[in-house]
Amino acid sequence: MRKIIDTVIETVIFICAILSIIFVVLIFGFLFKEGFAFFKDFGITKFITGKFWNPSSNPALFGILPLIVGSTLVTVGACVIAVPIGVMTALYISEIAPKGIRDILKSLVELMAAIPSVVIGFVGMITLVPFVRIFFNIPTGLTAFSGSIMLAFMAMPTIVTISEDAIRSVPWHYKEGAFALGATKWQTIRRIVLKAAMPGIIAAIMLGIGRVIGETMAVMMITGNAAHIPDSIFEPVRTMTATIAAEMGETVRGDMHYKALFAIGLVLFVITFIVNFIADLFLGKSKNK
C-alpha cells in the first residue's frame, strides 16, 4: 500500500516539475498560433518594417517599428540612468557602508520592488510628469524621458540586489592580494573587485533590461502613448507592452487587430527570452568561479 502511495505521489511530483516546460511551450504556442495567422494575413515584412501603427485607419496599418523604437528608446534611457547608479549603489552597500546601516539600505532599495507598478505610475503622473514639462519647457511631460526615469528606478532593485550578490561573492583572497601590494581600498574595489564581479553585474543588468522591456502599467501611464516614431527623447512614445494593454479592450476577439497584438506579444516573448538566456549564461559564469 505504502509503495503504491509513494509511486502515485512521485508521479504527481514529476508531472508538476515538467509543467514549467509545458507552460513555456503553451505560451509560445498560443502567441505563435495567433501571431502566425496575423503574419499570413498582413505579411511579416510589412509588420516588421512598417513605420505606421494605426489599427483604425483604412486600410489598417500594423507597422511595429514605432513601437520597437518606443520600447528601445525608453529601455536605453532607463539603462543609462539605472546602470551607473545601480552598480555604484551595490558597491557602496556591499563594500563601503557601515555594517549597521547595510541591511537598512538594502531593504529600502528592495522596497521599490514591492510597490505595485500602477502605484508607481500614478505617483509618476502627478509628480514627475509636470516637473519634466515645466523644467524642460515642453508641451507635455508625458515623454519617453519621463518613462526612462521611472523605469530606471523600477529596475534598480533587480540591478542592485544581483550586482551586490556578485560583488559579495568575490573571494576574499583577491582583495588580500591587492592590499598586500599596497593598494588602497578604493583601488582594490575599482581594479579587482569590480572586474571579478563583472559577469554577475552583467547578468544583473540584463535582468534589469528584461524587467524594463516587460514593464507595462507605469509605462502606459507616463510615456504619453503616441504610436509614432519620435524625433527626440522629449516626445511621447508608445511601447510594445503599452500597445497590447491599451488596445486589447478595443479589439473584436479574433479579428486582425486582436491577432496583431498577439504578434507583438510574440516579438516581446522572443526578445525577453534572449535577454534572460544571456543573463542566465552570465549568472552561471559568475557562480562557477
Partner 1 sequence: MIKLSPKLSQKLSYSILFLATILAIVPVVVIIFTIIKNGASAITWDFLTSMPKDGMRTGGILPAVLGTFSIVTCAISITLPIGVFAAIYLNEYTRNNLLTRIIKLAIVNLAGVPSVVYGLFGLGIFVMFLKLGVSVIAGALTLSIMELPVIITTARGALNSVPYSFREASLSLGVSRWQTIRHIVLPNALPGILTGTILSIARISGETAPILFTASVFYVPHLPHSIFDQVMTLPYHLYIVSTQIPNMPKKIIFGTALVLLIMVLTISFMAIIARIYFRKHRKW
Q: What is the DSSP letter of 184?
A: -
Q: Is 71 in the site for partner 1 (CB under 8 A)?
A: no
Quick one: 21 or 180, whose CB is closer to partner 1? 21
Among 198, 214, 226, 257, binds partner 1 (CB under 8 A): 214
Q: Is 85 in the site for partner 1 (CB under 8 A)?
A: yes
Quick one: 6 or 232, whose CB is closer to partner 1? 6
Sequence-ordered strand ranges (E) for the chain: 53-54, 61-62
Tell me how crowded residue 33 is: count the other CB atoms within 10 A of its CB. 13
Cα–Cα distance, 130 to 6 (Å, whole number): 63
Quick one: 59 or 167, whose CB is closer to partner 1? 167
The residue assigned the cell 500597445 is 243
Question: Which residue type is seen at 246?
Answer: A
Question: Which residue type is seen at 134?
Answer: I
Quick one: 69 or 259, whose CB is closer to partner 1? 259
Cα–Cα distance, 248 to 25 (Å, whole number): 23
Residues 129-188 binding partner 1 (CB under 8 A) are 153, 156, 160, 184-187
Quick one: 144 or 241, whose CB is closer to partner 1? 241
Q: Is 123 in the site for partner 1 (CB under 8 A)?
A: yes
Cα–Cα distance, 133 to 190 (Å, whole number): 38
Measure the CA angle with vertex 181, ends 176 and 184; round to 5°: 75
**Which stretch, 61-69, 164-172, 194-202, 266-274, contacts partner 1 (CB under 8 A)?**
266-274
Which helix H or strand E contains 57, and what residues bound it? none
Among 43, 46, 51, 96, binds partner 1 (CB under 8 A): 96
Applying CB under 8 A, the site for partner 1 has a residue count of 86
Residues 97-116 binding partner 1 (CB under 8 A) are 97, 105, 107-109, 111-112, 114-116
Least distance to partner 1, CB of residue 3, Å: 8
Contact 178, 188 (CB under 8 A): yes
Among 70, 244, 260, 286, binds partner 1 (CB under 8 A): 244
Among 217, 226, 233, 256, binds partner 1 (CB under 8 A): 217
Q: Is 75 in the site for partner 1 (CB under 8 A)?
A: no
Cα–Cα distance, 110 to 218 (Å, whole number): 18
Cα–Cα distance, 150 to 25 (Å, whole number): 33
Least distance to partner 1, CB of residue 22, Å: 8
